[in-house]
Amino acid sequence: MSRVSINCPHCGKTTRVDLAHNLSTQKCDRCGIRFSSVNTGLAGSREIQPTEPPDWRRAKTGSWDDDPAPATPPAPSSRTPVAAWIAVGTTLAAIAATALTLARRPPPAPPVAPMAGSGLPGANSTSPSGSGYLTLRQRIDAAVEVARQYLAAQTPDDLLPVIENREALEPQVRAYYSDEGEGRHQFPLPDFTLAPIDRHIWVDSLKAVVVSYETPGQVPRAVALRQQPDGRWLVDWPSAAAIGDVPMADFRARRDTTPRFFRLLAHRDDFFNRAFADENQWVCLRLSDPAGTHTLFGYARRQSPVGEKILRAAISRKPAQSPVMLRLRFPADAPTDNQVEITEFLGMGWVAAPASPEPGPASANPRPNTPSAPSAR
């Protein structure tokens, strides 16, 4: 038998094989792995290289090694990944675009002088209709200061200088706050807290600044102010005091069948009774005056324009209350004094849009407390 030495293709160690078994597999004397020696052409040569890396986890007996030698990790590459270069390029491009945009932005407009009569520094006292206009923030700030004076009034004489249309309203103001008037218990006005500046708004449809405030134990309230031709800001007193056509006590005592205008607080309700018992036919609002002295229920037919307008309005259910403007009347032979029909829904809020002046003597003294069109707060 002729035996030669060759390198094991698995462990790389020199082993001896029998040439007589050239067509059979051989077994390595070192690692015990069997391999084929068919037509290797290198039998007996010590320069044979293994065809695959050795498996160092094999022991001579063929069992697995419990603690194989860890492989050596490759050395880190000194080349920067392409993704990193892309990120750097994108960042630089964004910075350049931002700088270019800022460079092309026009310079800010110079400040404009306040209007005359606003009480602000720099106001033009000789030209109320000059070229300067108040910025929106300046308009609101000037209106808030006048609203503060109005809410701090202690007597009707304190109110009159800061209300709009004073000449026409003065008799009504004095009667309202007299010992027999509806507002006899409203002086001094209750303590108030002005809302933050971002709660006060300019309402273009009303041509007014609406200033929000709160009083202890009451719902949030608002007072509207309009700028006069001479530049002063004055309070829309009828909306601030929630004035109606007639006192609510008189309206209920007479069970007035003539539609009357009121500013009230409302929320949706489900009180259906007597002439308004069918909830499929009527929509119901619970109505109260700002002082909470009078409470009644107003009804409108669901399929009527008035009912549909109420259903579309943002009127919440109890306990929330929404200020509304509407016209009410008692039905003929009304059995109670707390159920009325809503003949017109003028809108949310208590501030009426300014009426367009009409030619003729009728427009000289328009009714100050009845709106000619729906309004929004």
pLDDT tens per residue across span 176-216: 999 888 888 777 777 888 888 878 888 888 889 999 888 77
Contact between 235 and 163 under an 8 Å Cβ cutoff? The reply is yes
The type of residue at 206 is L
| pLDDT computed for residue 106 by the predictor | 62
DSSP string, 327-370: EEEPPTT-S-SSEEEEEEEEEESSPPPPPPP-SSGGGSS--TTS
Which residue shows structure tokens 């009410």? 328
Highest mean pLDDT (candidates 2-11, 110-119, 328-337): 328-337
Q: Report which of residues 32 and 370 the model is more confident about.
A: 32
pLDDT for 55 beyond 60: no
Identify the band that residue 81 occupies on the pLDDT scale cut at 50, 70 and 90.
Answer: low
| pLDDT computed for residue 252 by the predictor | 95
**Taking CA 123 as the corner, what is the angle to CA 118 and CA 124, rounded to the nearest 5 degrees?**
115
pLDDT for 235 beyond 80: yes
b/e sequence 290-327, b meaning 16+ C-beta within 10 Å: beeebebbbbbbbeeebbebbeeeebeeeeebbbbbbb
pLDDT tens per residue across span 6-44: 777 777 777 776 665 554 567 777 777 776 655 444 433
Angstrom distance (rounded) from CA 192 to CA 149: 11
**ω before 319 within 30° of 0 (cis)?**
yes
CA of 201: how far to CAs of 144, 300, 353, in Å?
10, 32, 15
Return the structure tokens found at 74.
């490759």
Which residue shows structure tokens 């094991």? 8
Tell me the three state secondary structure of residue 34: strand
H/E run at residue 286: strand 282-288
User: Is residue 360 classed exposed, middle or buried when 0-12, 13-18 and 19+ CB atoms within 10 A define those classes?
Assistant: exposed
Tell me the three state secondary structure of residue 193: strand
The type of residue at 352 is A
The type of residue at 44 is G
Q: Which residues pair with 207 in a beta bridge?
A: none
**Other C-beta atoms within 10 Å of 186: how many?**
16
Query: What's the chain's average pLDDT?
Result: 75
Rounded to a whole number of angstroms, the distance between the first and last alpha carbons of the chain is 115
